[in-house]
A and B are shown apart, each in its own frame.
Chain A
């Protein structure tokens, strides 16, 4: 008499409870071959669940953070370089634009009293110094955050 056994797929889905099929349950109850297959699958799957998970032999965090710090440093360096290039271009453009007026600025400075000229010069220099100092402070703060 020919017996139709369950396919491996049927046995697996029955074992993993992906489908509920009474005919499969009934067949397994009476068929020794399918029962044996079910036990094989069960012990294999239990075995896999109890395997020790793979781990890396190196400190992943340290390796990755080192790379990221390098990347950020390169980015920061590129940013600073772009800033200097931008400032240089801005300075050159200002010089070109202001060139026709430079003479008249000097003349107006000459016409002012030396105290007034000194006050204007010191104020402008103080303002520029404040801006540059603030820029440097922000840069150092970011650098400190990266190296922490």
Chain B
């Protein structure tokens, strides 16, 4: 029902825009900018580049709106454009989207676990810092799955990656993140 109503409202908005009501495109921007921000801001750091990327993403979406087949949600389709545009930008800058730098991949087993209260209070900034150290694709997958709570199927449509690959990347990303957080606390204690 919800998917059908989403498709219905997507159809109304897209038809209005294609009929020349450009102002209706602002509804599309407002309803998708949070998702686009998660992708662009997690994969890139330069604010000026981010502004150019956002313009580029929405212009591409506007120009190819007539090609939108309503096979997925409009937000997923725009997120896919955002992801591909950002990946192309990273490729131009010769930045790998899955390569792990300065992270520990091979297990660190700590016997001393930070207590839950510490994690809650300092946790947010440490978590943000450690997520920022992840490779661009891992960051995006973690945020889309755990913060945006998108189903794997939608993430697969956004990233054009098979569902199995996404699950495996997510698993690796969570492990790296947990190990890095543990390492951070271990270094703090020393």
Separation in Å of the A129 CB from the closest CB of chain B? 27
Cα A69 to Cα B37 in complex, Å, equals: 22
Cα A12 to Cα B37 in complex, Å, equals: 27
In the complex, residue of chain B having the shortest beta-carbon distance to the beta carbon of A148: B23
Set of chain B residues within 8 Å of A44, measured between Cβ atoms: 119, 127, 174, 177-178, 181
Looking at the complex, which of B54-62, B90-98, B153-161 is the stretch in contact with chain A? B54-62
Cα A55 to Cα B39 in complex, Å, equals: 11
Set of chain A residues within 8 Å of B34, measured between Cβ atoms: 53, 55
Interface secondary structure of A, over-half rule: helix
- Cβ contact within 8 Å between A65 and B23: yes
In the complex, residue of chain B having the shortest beta-carbon distance to the beta carbon of A69: B22
**Given A53-B38, A72-B22, A60–B33 Cβ distance below 8 Å?**
yes
Set of chain A residues within 8 Å of B55, measured between Cβ atoms: 63-64, 67
User: Is B50 positioned at the interface, with any CB of A under 8 Å from its CB?
Assistant: yes
For chain B residues 115-143, which have a beta carbon within 8 Å of chain A?
A: 116, 119-120, 123-124, 127-128, 131, 142-143
Set of chain A residues within 8 Å of B21, measured between Cβ atoms: 145
Set of chain A residues within 8 Å of B51, measured between Cβ atoms: 56, 58, 63
How many chain A residues sit at the interface, stated as a range, is 35 or more
User: Is A14 positioned at the interface, with any CB of B under 8 Å from its CB?
Assistant: no
For chain B residues 145-178, which have a beta carbon within 8 Å of chain A?
A: 146-149, 167, 171, 174-175, 177-178
Number of interface residues of B (CB under 8 A): 50
- Cβ contact within 8 Å between B178 and A64: no
**Given A53-B37, A56-B33, A65-B25, A45–B174 Cβ distance below 8 Å?**
yes
**A5-25: contact bitstring with B at CB < 8 Å (1 yes, 0 no)?**
000110011000010000000
Cα A39 to Cα B182 in complex, Å, equals: 12
Residue of A43, A54, A64 touching B25 (CB-CB under 8 A): A64
Separation in Å of the A6 CB from the closest CB of chain B? 12
Cα A33 to Cα B139 in complex, Å, equals: 27
Set of chain B residues within 8 Å of A68, measured between Cβ atoms: 22, 25, 58-59, 62
